[in-house]
């Protein structure tokens, strides 16, 4: 009987481990891409100027903002609180 009482505690722990592993790998990937880009710029294989960087940044940020606004319509405003309440009900 005690095995079933501890089960709801294990689920958030496993989800936390998976999310942590994904975030850790994502950060490593981003740092690797940034390092590669810096090496290419310093060595001269890729030529970047500040206006080029600024224009590309504005294009990407515009798409990110549009995606974020679309997600606000789908997700609850306090999604973390929503998830916490869901896990609390399991306990």
* 2 token code pair: 């005690």
Smallest CA-to-CA distance from 15 within 64, 88, 87 is with: 87
Task: Give me the pLDDT at residue 72, please.
Answer: 66
Query: Whole-model pTM?
Result: 0.50
Residues 41, 46, 51, 54, CA torsion sign: negative
Task: Give me the pLDDT at residue 76, please.
Answer: 57
Give the pLDDT confidence of 40-61 residue by residue, as tens digits: 988 988 887 888 888 888 888 8
**Per-residue pLDDT for 33 more than 90?**
yes
According to DSSP H, which parts of the chain are helical? 2-43, 50-74, 79-90
Mean model confidence pLDDT for the chain: 77
Residues 69, 75, 77, 81, CA torsion sign: negative
């Amino acid at each position: 009987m005690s095995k079933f009482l501890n089960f709801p505690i294990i689920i958030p722990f496993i989800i936390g481990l998976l999310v942590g592993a994904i975030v850790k790998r994502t950060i490593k990937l981003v740092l690797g891409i940034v390092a590669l880009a810096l090496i290419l710029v310093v060595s001269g294989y890729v030529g970047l100027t500040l206006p080029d960087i600024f224009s590309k940044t504005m294009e990407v940020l515009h798409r990110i903002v549009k995606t974020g606004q679309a997600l606000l319509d789908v997700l609850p405003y306090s999604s973390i609180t929503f998830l916490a309440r869901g896990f609390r009900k399991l306990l």
